[in-house]
Amino acid sequence: MDGARALVRMLLALAITVALVAVIVSRIQHVAGNGGLPLSNASVIREQAADKHLDPALIAGVIYAETKFDPRTSSAGALGLMQLLPATAQYIAHLSGGVRFSTSDLATPRINVAYGSWYLRYLLDHYEGDEMLAVAAYNGGLANVDAWVAKAHQEGKTLSVAEIPFPETQAYVQRVMRAQAEYRATYPHQLGLT
């Protein structure tokens, strides 16, 4: 009887091990099959892209650059998938017609992506559709980018990525633009691009 129980325990342990290995292999194949590019909340991204007239791959690219789809609080206190500061989100809530705002709202992907997408749309409108400038302002601040653009215009040129004076913002813009292209190529169906 003890031998039979031991055999059953051993077979059960083996079955659990095989199941765990299968799950791990499946996840590795999924990540490798998508170039290691994570995506979650695709329906929220599609919804906000349609509502705000944005490229869903741009929203995904910003989320990737901000959090790689792993929402966490930044050292500056920014929250959620699109890393919004509570003061910025409260301002967005007010401008977009919200009647009340709670910092805890930023943990909800639907709300966080709605606010972040609203801000992206605002920045794109401010920069007449120039995605590079909008993304730079999302990271480096509207006032900074306005100053950089004004300086470039005074010098008779337009601001390019290479001329962004903040190395962090320059790298951020490159990361978002690269991710945007990769999301368009990797997830066209999930993002509603097909």
Exposure string for 108-117, b = 16+ CB within 10 A, e = fewer: ebebbbbbbb
- Say yes or no: 29 and 59 in one domain: no
The whole-angstrom separation of Cα 161 and Cα 39 is 26
Q: Residue 74 belongs to a domain with what CATH number?
A: 1.10.530.10
- Say yes or no: 169 and 92 in one domain: yes
- Say yes or no: 102 and 72 in one domain: yes
Q: Show the low-confidence residues of the chain (pLDDT under 50).
A: 19-23, 25-33
Q: Is residue 194 part of a domain?
A: no
What are the structure tokens assigned to 140, written together?
A: 């480096």
The pLDDT value recorded for residue 185 is 98
* C-alpha distances in Å from residue 192, one per residue of 29, 46, 58, 148, 187: 23, 6, 13, 35, 8
- Count how many domains the chain has: 2
Q: Is residue 44 part of a domain?
A: yes
- Say yes or no: 93 and 29 in one domain: no
Q: Is residue 20 part of a domain?
A: yes
Q: How does pLDDT run across 50-107, given as a tens digit for each residue? A: 999 999 999 999 999 999 999 989 989 999 999 999 999 998 988 888 778 899 999 9
Q: Is residue 154 part of a domain?
A: yes
- Say yes or no: 17 and 104 in one domain: no
Contact 61, 177 (CB under 8 A): yes
The pLDDT value recorded for residue 94 is 87
Q: Is residue 191 part of a domain?
A: no
- Say yes or no: 51 and 87 in one domain: yes
Cα–Cα nearest to 142, from 166, 163, 156, 126? 126
Q: Is residue 193 part of a domain?
A: no
Spot the catalytic one: 66, 131, 155, 168.
66
- Say yes or no: 174 and 92 in one domain: yes
The whole-angstrom separation of Cα 48 and Cα 110 is 9
Q: Is residue 110 part of a domain?
A: yes
DSSP H or E stretch at residue 118: helix 109-126
- Say yes or no: 118 and 156 in one domain: yes
Task: Identify the three-state secondary structure at position 189.
Answer: coil
- Say yes or no: 64 and 79 in one domain: yes
* C-alpha distances in Å from residue 122, one per residue of 88, 94, 109, 117, 132: 13, 14, 19, 8, 14
The pLDDT value recorded for residue 101 is 86
Residue 111's domain spans which residues? Answer: 40-186
Told to judge if 66 belongs to the known catalytic residues of this protein, a careful annotator would answer yes
